[in-house]
Structure 1
Amino acid sequence: MTTLLDYCSLVRSKNAGPFTLTFDFMCHDKDAYDALVATGFLNKNLFATLYDTAPDKVLVVNHPLALAVKVSLPRPTVQGDLHDSDCYAGQQYAPLMDMEVAAQRTH
């Protein structure tokens, strides 16, 4: 099974202010970056489903020079709210770690 750690040396989530959650996927090298992007795994629908938001609220930005992908979306709960279970959003990436990332398709 191929996971994000096969492509990335760093996967993290964090706050981007009290209303926004952001994820960073930093790849091992250019080949890993190109392969990860080619899978289409990091897409708006995946994050919308996992974090209960509309796909049009999800921003996926590929940074080829940094060999990274950044994803931002509204926080499910405002930072510091009584129901906020992860104030710094540092553990929101966890559901992604055990998911299988499909290998690159050949055409």
Structure 2
Amino acid sequence: MKKVRITELAGVIRSKNSGPYELTFDIIFKDRRAFELARRSGLFRKELFAELYGVGVKKVIGVVEFAEANAIKATIVRPVVSGAPGETDVYGAQQHAPLLSIEVPVV
């Protein structure tokens, strides 16, 4: 099965806080074709984000497709509360790196 790197399909891959207890991830695809390839792959489920971020599936709050914006958004419980001792990214803006390794199966 052919796979395409997420960086070839998405123009924006970012992370940010969704409050002090949650991180949210946005993948905004370059166009409708790229979004549909990703959506149809079935890859973007709670299990993917749980695996990428080393959290249980129950810690993945949701994965939502926004067709109008050619985007997929996921939210997880932060492993460490924003600003807590030992926390290294108070804004959550540097947590998107694991997403860059995604390879989307193309049917």
Fold agreement, TM-score > 0.5:
yes
CA-atom RMSD, angstroms?
Answer: 1.4
Deviations 1:31-71 (CA, angstroms, capped at 9, x unpaired)? 11111111122221111122232213320000111111100
Q: 2:68, 2:50 → 1: CA distance?
A: 26
Higher helix share: 2
Q: Percent identity?
A: 38
Post-superposition shift, 1:5?
1.4
Encode CA deviations 1:2-49: one digit per residue, 9 max, x unaligned.
Answer: 211111110000001000000001111111111111112222111112
Residues in 1 aligned to 2:95 and 2:58: alpha-carbon distance in whole angstroms: 20
- Output the CA distance in 1 between the equivalents of 2:53 and 2:7: 21
Give 2:31's aligned residue.
29
2:83 and 2:91 map into 1 onto residues whose CA distance is: 9
Q: Structure 1 or 2: larger strand share?
A: 2
Instruction: Tell me which stretches of 4 or more aligned residues in structure 1 moved more than 4 Å.
Output: none
Tell me if the contact between 2:53 and 2:98 (Cα under 8 Å) persists in the aligned partners: no
Partner of 1:41: 43
Equivalent AA in structure 2 for residue 60 of structure 1:
V
What corresponds to 1:12 in structure 2?
Answer: 14
Please give the alpha-carbon distance, in whole angstroms, between the structure 2 residues aligned to 1:52 and 1:101.
Answer: 20
Give matches, 1:15-94, under 5 Å. 15-58=17-60, 59-94=62-97
Structure 2 unpaired stretches of 5+? none
Normalising by structure 1, we get a TM-score of 0.88
Q: What residue ranges of structure 1 are gaps of 5+ in the alignment? A: none
Output the TM-score relative to the length of structure 2.
0.88
Corresponding residue pairs, total:
104
Letter in 1 for 2:21: F
